[in-house]
């Protein structure tokens, strides 16, 4: 018999702030974390805005030596794990660390480390290249940094599935716990790709909003006037626990994970299958795994990137799966406030969804002033709503046609 899995801790570092409460208060107020880029000079760049985690100071969470050695995406992961531990009141002295695992995803990893070392190599040759260049940039070492920091010796995974990485990392951790291979899993995603090379690459792809004159209005999912997504950075790490283990330590439970689905589009490297079939099959798989009917879902935290094709395709896939019930659903895109956190986005949004269930409030889709005619569902425009949620879903879809959905349930 599969074990039940619950969320007992949420560690967030995002453009909205550091920690669960700062994120939540700004989320329900409809505040945007998007602003002008401060980490490098954008004078020669067509894109000058992003969602930076401006309040993040690595030395507040890790010693100065490691702060210098680690890629920013690794530092974000360590910080988020410490926030989650504190928030979950998890006593590291009493748990069996061989039964604690870590599953962290990232779409890109240490892009800042690659850029810095490539410049040094081109200017000075191999003698200036850092010996830690490779280990401080590869994706699985976000997991490595967290396990070393706390001595966790259970399952150890690094997931790379583009913008679905964080969600898939949580889904795979959920499965590990279901089958009894661990008691606790730290799971989520981390990303720090707001660098000159990263911004330039997505700009050349023509994927980013050019609304430089109005940063806080640039991310506008499902709005007719959207012109691309806004890059974001940050990390969301959740503490997932086998239910009996959580109950034994009287843990606070935010929500229960009851369903996980995946699918592939097999369609295009960057664009979703315009019929919505891949996203629809993914959501259906998660709902089937949860053992409920589509009509049981009350709320969807949408992928909602603010790009022309994603928003229409996701709306189309929801209508395709839910039929008439799609018009009764509450749906919102929190990317309207955070920007798109790439590989971290799925885990941050699952954290937000768990908070929505626990607190009975659905965050809005801000900047939704002129809805796209093909996005004619209830996307909770501009203002949070009080709403009891029994079952909720969070979606993440990535380049290469990789899709993931997770279903959460109110814990009772």
Dist CA 25 CA 19 (whole Å): 11
- Please report the sign of the dihedral spanned by the C-alpha atoms of residue 135, residue 141, residue 146, residue 150: negative
The residues pairing with 187 across neighbouring beta strands, listed in sequence order, are 103, 238
Within its chain, how far is the Cα of 341 from the centroid?
A: 6
168 an active-site residue? no
Helices 345-359 and 20-29 sit at what angle, rounded to 10 degrees? 80
The answer to whether 272 and 308 have CB atoms below 8 angstroms apart is no
SS3 of residue 391 by DSSP: strand
Give the largest CA-CA distance in the chain: 64
Phi (first) and psi of residue 362, to 5 degrees: -105, 120
387 an active-site residue? no
Dist CA 19 CA 32 (whole Å): 16
Which residue among 168, 235, 303, 375 is the active-site one? 303
The residues pairing with 190 across neighbouring beta strands, listed in sequence order, are 235
335 Cβ contact partners less than 8 Å away, ≥ 6 residues apart? 219, 221, 229, 230, 232, 303, 304, 305, 306, 341, 345, 349
Structure token pair of residue 264: 């592939």
Which residue among 245, 282, 340, 375 is the active-site one? 340
235 an active-site residue? no
The residues pairing with 14 across neighbouring beta strands, listed in sequence order, are 17
Which residue among 163, 235, 282, 375 is the active-site one? 163
- Please report the sign of the dihedral spanned by the C-alpha atoms of residue 190, residue 195, residue 197, residue 199: positive
Alpha helices in 205-307 (DSSP H): 243-248, 277-290
Active site residues: 163, 303, 340
């Amino acid at each position: 018999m599969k074990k039940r899995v619950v969320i007992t801790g949420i560690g967030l570092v995002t453009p909205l702030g550091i920690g669960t409460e700062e994120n939540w208060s700004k989320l329900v107020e409809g505040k945007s974390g998007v602003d002008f880029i401060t980490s490098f000079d954008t004078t020669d760049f067509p894109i000058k805005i992003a969602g930076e985690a401006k309040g993040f100071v690595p030395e507040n969470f890790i010693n100065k030596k490691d702060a210098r050695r680690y890629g920013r995406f690794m530092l974000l992961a360590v910080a988020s794990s410490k926030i989650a531990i504190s928030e979950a009141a998890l006593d590291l002295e009493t748990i069996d660390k061989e039964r604690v695992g870590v599953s962290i995803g990232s779409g890109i990893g240490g892009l800042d480390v690659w850029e810095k070392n490539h410049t040094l190599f081109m200017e000075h040759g191999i003698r200036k290249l850092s010996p830690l260049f490779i280990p401080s940039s590869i994706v699985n070492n976000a997991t490595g940094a967290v396990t070393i920091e706390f001595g966790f010796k259970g399952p150890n995974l690094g997931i790379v599935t583009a913008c679905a990485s964080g969600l898939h990392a949580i889904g795979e951790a959920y499965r590990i716990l279901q089958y009894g291979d661990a008691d606790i899993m730290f799971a989520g995603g981390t990303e720090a790709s707001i660098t000159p090379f990263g911004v330039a690459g997505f700009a050349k792809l023509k994927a980013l909003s050019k609304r430089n004159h109005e940063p806080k209005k640039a991310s506008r999912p499902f709005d007719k006037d959207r012109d691309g997504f806004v890059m974001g950075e940050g990390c969301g790490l959740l503490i997932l626990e086998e239910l009996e283990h959580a109950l034994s330590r009287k843990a606070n439970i935010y929500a229960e994970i009851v369903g996980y689905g995946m699918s592939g589009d097999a369609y295009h490297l960057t664009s979703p299958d315009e019929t919505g079939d891949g996203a629809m099959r993914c959501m259906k798989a998660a709902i089937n795994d949860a053992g409920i009917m589509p009509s049981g879902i009350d709320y969807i935290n949408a992928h909602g990137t603010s790009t022309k094709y994603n928003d229409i395709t996701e709306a189309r896939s929801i209508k395709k799966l839910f039929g008439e019930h799609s018009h009764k659903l509450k749906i919102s895109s929190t990317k309207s406030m955070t920007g798109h956190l790439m590989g971290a986005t799925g885990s941050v949004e699952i954290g937000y969804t768990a908070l929505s269930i626990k607190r009975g409030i659905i965050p809005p889709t801000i900047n939704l002033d002129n809805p796209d005619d093909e996005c004619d569902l209830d996307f909770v425009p501009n203002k949070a709503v009080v709403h009891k949620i029994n079952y909720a879903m969070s979606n993440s879809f990535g380049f290469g046609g990789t899709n993931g959905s997770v279903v959460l349930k109110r814990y009772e």
